Amino acid sequence: MNDILVSFDNVTIDYVMKKQSLRAVRDFSLDIEKGKITAFVGESGSGKTTVVSALLQAISSPGKLTQGNVYFFDGDNKIDVSALKNEQLRKFRWSKVSMVFQASQSTLNPLMTIYDQFYETAYYHDAIASKEKFDERLNYLFDLVKLDAKRVFKAYPHQMSGGMKQRVMIAFALLLNPDLIILDEPTTALDVITQKYIFNQLTDINKNLGKTLILLTHDIGIVAKVADNIAVMYAGSVMEYADAYTLFKEKKHPYTRGLIEATPSILKSPEEIQPIEGNPPDIRNLPSGCPFHPRCKYCMDICTEQRPPLQKIGDEHYISCHLYANNTQKL
């Protein structure tokens, strides 16, 4: 087993509202390997953003972590993220874990130049030794994401393109040199060439700087080449987790297979693209048993009755599906 950086342990997150509460993440357990790129793949609403925000204690209100823990391994130190308070939390956020948000292009203050925004964040974290050192670091970071520092320093957000802002946000996430960076749909809304460009930079950041990355996306095709490990999510739970190669080769879980076959590619003719039948789940009203069973081609009686546990079926290969119930060793 490789080094673990983050461990989600049985995490359940509810959005507690007046009329009813909504379970966006259910019994989510997963270890994130250090130094690797792990992708969370799932349809819109599958709880990707919700589950990772627990890692920053940033679940949007009225969401609550109702069960489980999130641990972060800082050297030999095991940090229980949900127990962090005030100053500890402030020191943890952005310095250990940072995030590029889903709508990250609007996370820049419209009234401040890019330079000032970086400066203030560093200033608040007492991370500025001298202005020269800081400028040096900024030049380095902007170089890394291939932005012309001279031009971007003085720019206001509205003077930059979407792709540029996205790269600014990646540089921003690197500012305090965190161990882990979460990227929520980092390339949605960007053209294919810019997408590729950004993924190249992310791979560099992972390989050369040794940063652990978590990528959230709804498009399994996009992360196929980039991710080391892939967790397929459905209705707030992990359906399958494996390294990218195994996952694509074996596509054991019917939902994983569905996702892969639904992905358009140049090599496929339009007839070969098989959309997954049925509708995305309504998490306010989940079916009994396996949440995927109404859309599953291989649905058996047991699937409508019992929720399949997450089981180990190979070396670092986990699956939540009754089809593989026999030849498994329990977790």
Partner 1 sequence: MKAALKKFGKGLATFFKGLGKSVATFASMIYGNKKAFAGAIILMLFVFLALFGRLIFPYDETTSFSQMYQSPSAEHILGTDGMGRDLFDMIIYGTRDVMSIAFMTALMTVGLGAVVGIVAGYAGGWTDKVIGVVLNVVMSLPTFPILLIMSMFITIKDNFTLAVILSIFSWPGLARAVRAQIISLKERDFIQICKVMGLSKAHIIFSELLPNIMSFVAINFISSMKNAITASVGMMTLGLALFEPTNWGGIIVNARNSGAFAIPAARLSIIAPIVTIMLFQIGAILFSNGLDEAFNPRLRKN
What SS3 state is found at 324?
A: helix
Q: According to the binding rule CB under 6 A, does residue 48 interact with ligand ATP? A: yes
Q: Would you tell me how many other CB atoms lie within 10 Å of the CB of residue 211?
A: 21
Q: Which helix (H) or strand (E) holds 22?
A: strand 21-33
The helix (H) or strand (E) run that includes residue 83 is: none
Look at residue 129 and give the partner it binds from ligand ATP, partner 1, Mg ion, none, a contact being a CB closer than 5 to 8 Å depending on partner kind: none
Does 246 interact with Mg ion (rule: CB under 5 A)?
no
Interaction of residue 128 with partner 1, rule CB under 8 A: no
Residue 15 interaction partner, one of ligand ATP, partner 1, Mg ion, none, beta carbon < 5-8 Å per kind: ligand ATP
Binding to ligand ATP in span 191-230, by CB under 6 A: 218
* Count, residues in the chain: 331
Site for Mg ion in 202-231 (CB under 5 A): none
State the nearest-atom distance from the C-beta of 81 to partner 1, in Å: 13
DSSP sequence for 177-244: --SEEEEESTTTTS-HHHHHHHHHHHHHHHHHH--EEEEEES-HHHHTTT-SEEEEEETTEEEEEEEH
Assess 158 for contact with partner 1 (CB under 8 A).
Answer: yes
How far is residue 322 CA from its own chain's centroid? 26
- Residue 72 or 101 with smaller CB distance to ligand ATP: 101
Does residue 255 touch partner 1 according to CB under 8 A?
A: no
**How far apart are alpha carbons 221 and 114 in whole angstroms?**
33
Site size for partner 1, by CB under 8 A?
A: 31
> Which residues, 84 to 123, sit near Mg ion by CB under 5 A?
102
As measured in angstroms, the least distance from the Cβ of 51 to partner 1 is 15
Residues in the site for ligand ATP, rule: CB under 6 A? 15, 22, 24, 42, 44-50, 60, 63, 102, 218, 283
